Amino acid sequence: MPQDPKLRPYTPVLGLLAEDDRTSVVTQAIPEEDDSGTTFELSVILPARNEEMNLPQCLESLLAQDDELFKLGTDWELILVDDDSTDRTAVIARAAASRPGVVVMQPPALEAIPAQRTFTGKNNACWAGAQRAQGRWLLFTDADTLHESNDLRHALHEAKKHEAALLSYSPRQIVNGLAQRVLMPLVFSELASVYPTSQVNDPNRRLAAANGQFLMIERRTYFAVGGHKAVAKSVLEDVEIAYNVKRSKKGIRFRYAPDALSTRMYRGFRDMVEGWTKNLALLFPHAVSLAFWRLLDLGLCLLPLVLLLFPYLIWWQKGAIWLLWARTLLRFYRRVARSNFSFVNCALSVFGLPLFLYLLIMSWMSHRVFRRVTWKGREIRTSR
């Protein structure tokens, strides 16, 4: 008996049929939850693990959303999920719980052996928070975000205006240090190329994307597609949830939103290396070929060295080399400018190419060869 094509699993990025059952998407119907038991218009779910450096500012920006038009404890709630933190995250969260409408909770404990875990840590925390939530809309946001005034109300209005069951924002990136300034524009320019918002937001295109730093979704849609439980073992859960929503024929809207929020993704170089090693090979399906093309860019950027190695070249040969070099830099800058970073950071990003190449290959090896990555002190087994 042929399998119902509507129930066949798809890969999250390309929308291609999966060859085995390792994909995390839902392959059977899940009963929808109705809104009859909801108390709030919005539930903000904030998972946090060892976020003592980021959490105070994030909470300040979220609690500032409380006003007469959008009252915390009446119109919306904030659920802080302490994901087994070993620093002062829990203490900071409990201090915020003195406000009406703020709840602090812990998710069920993960299995001790990474290979036996049915959830990643973040997915476990998000799923636990969603089950506790009482809002018609659920907003999953990260502790490293800073929310602009009234961004929660504006996001609800935007989702309804565009008839989107899922609304996700890509925040303005706050970068510190030379390594972040040269690397981050490269990563985000490639993301803009692989996930153009015009295609992501087009219901007739298979491509889907979302950013877990700000992912707002209708409650009924979330539970209908299985939520974070359906992508329990996924490292790239935000993209997979977006794909599940799009596959269910619900609208999604994804955009760059500096007007809504900003983020400092990484506090230091080590965090940045660990984070992109975890994600790059999943974000870019053809990581090795991408590394080859960026290696070619690096080689072309070093063309002036040819003049030092071959000083006997005649004038027109030297001129051709300089023209090719100038064209390479112009093409490179135009590509990186898609990242929405400043002119200076985009111009400096050429010096980040060696690091970007290294992280692409390390991420590919971590997922394809070693099949494990680490994040915030936890080992995560992968199935890529």
- Written as one letter, the residue type at 176 is N
**According to the model, what pLDDT value does residue 33 have?**
58
Burial class (CB within 10 angstroms; exposed 0-12, middle 13-18, buried 19+) of 127: buried
Cα dist from 259 to 25, 152, 209, whole Å: 32, 12, 20
What's residue 38's pLDDT?
78
Distance in angstroms (rounded) separating the CA atoms of residues 104 and 79 = 6
Distance CA 105, CA 128 (A): 9
Cα separation, 198 vs 13, in Å, equals 15
Q: CA nearest 131: which of 237, 259, 222?
A: 222
Query: Which segments of 87-150 does DSSP mark as H helices, in order?
Result: 89-96, 121-132
Give the separation between CA 254 and CA 262, rounded to whole angstroms: 15
Q: Please state, in angstroms and rounded to a whole number, the distance separating the CA atoms of residues 284 and 282.
A: 5
Number of neighbours of residue 98 by Cβ within 10 angstroms: 7
pLDDT at residue 384 in the model: 56
The amino acid at 95: A
**Domain assignments of the chain as residue spans, ordered by start:** 5-171+211-267, 277-381
Q: What is the pLDDT of residue 282?
A: 95
User: Can you give the pTM of this predicted structure?
Assistant: 0.88
Contact between 10 and 18 under an 8 Å Cβ cutoff? The reply is: yes
Report how far residue 209's alpha carbon sits from residue 252's, in angstroms, rounded to the nearest whole number: 9
* pLDDT score of 32: 52
Identity at 108, one-letter amino acid code: P
The correct answer on CATH 3.30.420.40 for the domain covering 5-171+211-267 is: no
Q: Which residues of the chain have pLDDT under 50?
A: 1-31
**What does the pLDDT read at residue 241?**
98
Q: Among all chains, which residue has been given the structure tokens 């993209």?
A: 239
Dihedral sign of CA atoms 138, 224, 16, 380 in order: positive
pLDDT (0 to 100) of residue 4: 39
Task: Return the pLDDT at 36.
Answer: 59
Contacting residues for 157 by C-beta, under 8 A, at least 6 apart:
none
What pLDDT is recorded for position 42?
98
Which residues make beta-bridge pairs with 45?
79, 140
Q: Is 338 exposed, middle or buried (0-12, 13-18, 19+ CB in 10 A)?
A: middle
- Among 371, 149, 352, 142, smallest CA distance to 266 is for 142
Burial of 196 (C-beta count, 10 Å sphere; 0-12/13-18/19+): middle
**What's the pLDDT at 115?**
80
